[in-house]
Amino acid sequence: MVMDEKVEPFYNEVIRHNPGEVEFHQAVREVLESLGPVLVKYPEFAEHKIIERLCEPERQIIFRVPWQDDKGEVHIRRGFRVEFNSALGPYKGGLRFHPSVYLGTVKFLGFEQVFKNGLTGMPIGGGKGGSDFDPKGRSDDEIMRFCQSFMTELYRHLGEYTDVPAGDIGVGTREVGYLFGQYKRITNRYESGVLTGKGLEWGGALVRNEATGYGTVFFADEMLRARGDSLDGKTVVVSGSGNVAIYAIEKAQEMGATVVGCSDSSGYVYDPDGICFDTIREIKEVERGRIVDYAARRPNAVFRERGKGDATIWSIPCDVALPCATQNELTGRDAATLMKNGCTVVAEGANMPTTPEGVRAFVDAPGVAFGPGKAANAGGVATSALEMQQNASRDSWSFKHTEQRLQEIMADIHHTCYETAAEFGSEGNYVVGANIAGFLRVGRAMVALGLV
Ligand code: NDP
């Protein structure tokens, strides 16, 4: 998309003010490209400098995380928490532990989170955090020591009414447990609502673990239903094999689709019989193994190592693609391959997994529906807000009830994106619909709260 001349100066200022943070620039650009018509219709946003304020995080925290490995060797990693926007509620968003994490990653994720949380209609602001710590190959004790050191610094910035982190890449229930334990120890408070994604025995909520993957599939199904179709009988490819991917695979198959491919950072597997949910979950969640192990256990599955040859997971023919691994994993070339092979629906389970060229190719293609992450994967954070509700009322809801709430929330988000896109002259463009609807909710709250 071409950026409207009214918003271009804001984008140029973001680049000047945040040098080198390329993912953050990309996320800002993608939102600003949608906002030209909003500034024309609602001049008060320009008057209150809402865009400039939205692009500047309210607070950015960077800290040292010293920890010791099992041999006694000392390591120093960097911790981050970007508290981006609290107009709608406490900062809310996950923590990512991955060696690629730097300030630009956390800012892009935090920026996306602000709009996503706005779209859910729930009372949550946006934030994100993490570390360049690499959990791969580390023992349980090492993970625990790292989490304890990380929380020893971060705890002072958190609170159920202030900032509520959750998991993301490299941070699952195990890590949330160690983080919560250390928070409880330091503060002497059993403040369940300070972290979400907790285990069921200690304040967690049913469906939170499954929510992002399930929600992405519900969103894809809504996109198909808007065109008189459904997921039933469709062939699906899901990238990744972590939390989001595994439960996307489960729900897609429950809804009658066949998932024929998934991946990790070492390569991908193609299984014409349909990915076996129990096998992939056992390998990834219990054994913490690699995707090649899956191919070894299934008669017709094949493994393709990453970087060997031109093929990527997106070369597998499918009707529906669900990128659920990481940012910029689906390129313009991948988009062309997918569409050539008949793919007509893409729903992003990961955050910003499609490059700008890929997004453009999908959005411009007639008959192709593209659901951006801030809408399609919002089920995770929405269910985190449901976990906070249960913590606040000391209640716990059944799986069925919570899943039904999640499905309703995803249908509402879909409806909001669809209607907003149509209102602003971009019918069927979920990117425009999600960006504008998220912006309107946060922007209106910011105007109402004054210059803070
Ligand atoms: P996990 O750590 O559970 O899984 C991540 C998966 O992506 C793994 O299979 C991993 O492979 C793969 N992956 C990670 N980095 C790369 C890379 N650089 N190249 C190729 N593959 C990679 O994370 P989640 O499933 O929680 O998160 C996945 C995505 O979903 C992220 O974009 C996250 O921000 C987003 N998301 C997550 C939510 C949640 O509730 N968990 C909520 C909303 C969005 P390997 O193991 O080999 O590294």
> Could you tell me the CATH number of the domain that includes residue 298?
3.40.50.720
- The rounded distance, in Å, linking the Cα atoms of 106 and 129 is 6
For position 7, what pLDDT does the model report? Answer: 86
Beta strand 345-347 pairing with 320-323 = parallel
Ligand 1 centroid – CA 349 distance (Å):
9
- The rounded distance, in Å, linking the Cα atoms of 263 and 59 is 36
Does one domain contain both 139 and 118?
yes
Residue 122 lies in a domain: yes
β-partners of residue 364 are none
CB-ligand 1 contact for 193 (6 Å cutoff): no
CB of 124 within 8 A of CB of 90?
yes
Angle of CA points 364, 370, 376, to nearest 5°? 155
Return the beta strands (E) in 154-312 as ranges: 163-166, 235-239, 258-264, 267-270, 302-305
Does one domain contain both 131 and 241?
no
Does one domain contain both 123 and 48?
no
Residues 6+ apart with CB under 8 A from 12: none
- The residues annotated as belonging to the active site are 128
CB of 7 within 8 A of CB of 35?
yes
CB-ligand 1 contact for 212 (6 Å cutoff): yes
DSSP secondary structure letters along 300-319: T-EEEETTSSS--GGGS--S
Nearest to 33 by CA among 348, 390, 426: 426
Residue in the structure block whose two tokens are 């408070």: 189
| The last residue of a domain, from among 338, 367, 396 | 367
| The last residue of a domain, from among 158, 191, 224 | 191
For position 203, what pLDDT does the model report? Answer: 96
Number of structural domains in the chain: 3
Beta strand 369-371 pairing with 302-305 = unpaired
Does one domain contain both 88 and 187?
yes
Ligand 1 centroid – CA 130 distance (Å):
13
Does one domain contain both 313 and 225?
yes
For position 5, what pLDDT does the model report? Answer: 83
Nearest to 70 by CA among 125, 144, 6, 5: 144
Residues 6+ apart with CB under 8 A from 135: 97, 143, 146, 170, 175
Does one domain contain both 130 and 223?
no
Nearest to 294 by CA among 320, 276, 312: 276
Does one domain contain both 231 and 339?
yes
Does one domain contain both 183 and 326?
no
- The rounded distance, in Å, linking the Cα atoms of 69 and 74 is 7
For residue 306, which atom of ligand 1 is closest to its CA? 20
- The rounded distance, in Å, linking the Cα atoms of 335 and 378 is 23
Does one domain contain both 51 and 65?
no
Does one domain contain both 34 and 141?
no
Residue 401 lies in a domain: no
- Predicted model pTM: 0.97
| The last residue of a domain, from among 367, 395, 411 | 367
Nearest 10 degrees: Cα torsion 395, 401, 406, 407: -170
Residue among 208, 237, 326 whose CB has most ligand 1 atoms within 8 A, to mutate = 326
CB of 21 within 8 A of CB of 107?
yes
Task: Identify the residue whose C-alpha is closest to ligand 1 atom 2.
Answer: 169
Task: Identify the residue whose C-alpha is closest to ligand 1 atom 10.
Answer: 264
Does one domain contain both 241 and 102?
no
> Could you tell me the CATH number of the domain that includes residue 13?
1.10.285.10
CB of 121 within 8 A of CB of 439?
no
For position 1, what pLDDT does the model report? Answer: 64
379-392 helix and 399-423 helix, angle to the nearest 10 degrees: 130
Q: From first to last of the 452 residues of the chain, give the pLDDT tens digit.
A: 667 888 899 999 999 999 999 999 999 999 999 999 999 999 999 999 999 999 999 999 999 999 999 999 999 999 999 999 999 999 999 999 999 999 999 999 999 999 999 999 999 999 999 999 999 999 999 999 999 999 999 999 999 999 999 999 999 999 999 999 999 999 999 999 999 999 999 999 999 999 999 999 999 999 999 999 999 999 999 999 999 999 999 999 999 999 999 999 999 999 999 999 999 999 999 999 999 999 999 999 999 999 998 899 999 999 999 999 999 999 999 999 999 999 999 999 999 999 999 999 999 999 999 999 999 999 999 999 999 999 999 999 999 999 999 999 999 999 999 999 999 999 999 999 999 999 999 999 999 999 99
Task: Identify the residue whose C-alpha is closest to ligand 1 atom 44.
Answer: 350
Does one domain contain both 78 and 161?
yes
> Could you tell me the CATH number of the domain that includes residue 106?
3.40.50.10860
Instruction: Report which DSSP code applies to 286.
Output: I
Residue 423 lies in a domain: no
Residue 407 lies in a domain: no
- The rounded distance, in Å, linking the Cα atoms of 348 and 254 is 19
Containing structural domain, residue 270 = 211-367
For position 361, what pLDDT does the model report? Answer: 98
How far are the Cα atoms of 57, 136, 139, 180, 211 from residue 174, in angstroms, in the given order? Answer: 29, 14, 12, 10, 17
CB-ligand 1 contact for 380 (6 Å cutoff): yes
